[in-house]
Amino acid sequence: QVQLVESGGGLVQAGGSLRLSCAASGRTFSSYGMGWFRQGPGKEREFVVAIWSGGRTRYADSAKGRFTISRDNANNTVYLQMNSLKPEDTAVYYCAARIPVATVIPSTLPSLYNYWGQGTQVTVSS
């Protein structure tokens, strides 16, 4: 069982930055694929970015050039640095973990992730 706890959300003006953190329990964190998803008001949960155990990353088009994912395996933490935030980035952001699989390319489908955090609210004002 893996527990995920997100933090770092808040209210920021358009153009500002936030850094989200996701702390994970468990001794095999380094082998898990980790992803960030978000769900805006009245919208479905959507993929933002993921990083696999080997360091390979995959970004949604909306995140490219503005968001950066990283992981610290020594501290069981994954980060999401968000710059140049826009009002349309307003959403609850969720951290997710996928148990080790043979796929090389990070998954974008929420259904393929095994564990989820409770989410952290990000609000970007115009």
Tokens 């500002």 correspond to 16
Confidence (pLDDT) at 76: 96
Residue 100's pLDDT is 85
CB within 8 Å of 44: residues ≥ 6 apart? none
Q: What is the pLDDT of residue 105?
A: 86
Reading the block at residue 24, the tokens are: 């994970």
pLDDT at 1: 84
Mean pLDDT by 10 residues, the chain (126 residues): 95 98 91 96 96 94 98 96 98 95 86 96 97
Task: Give the H/E segment covering residue 97.
Answer: strand 91-98
The pLDDT of residue 73: 93
Give the chain's largest Cα–Cα span. 42
Beta strand pairing call for 120-125 and 10-13: parallel
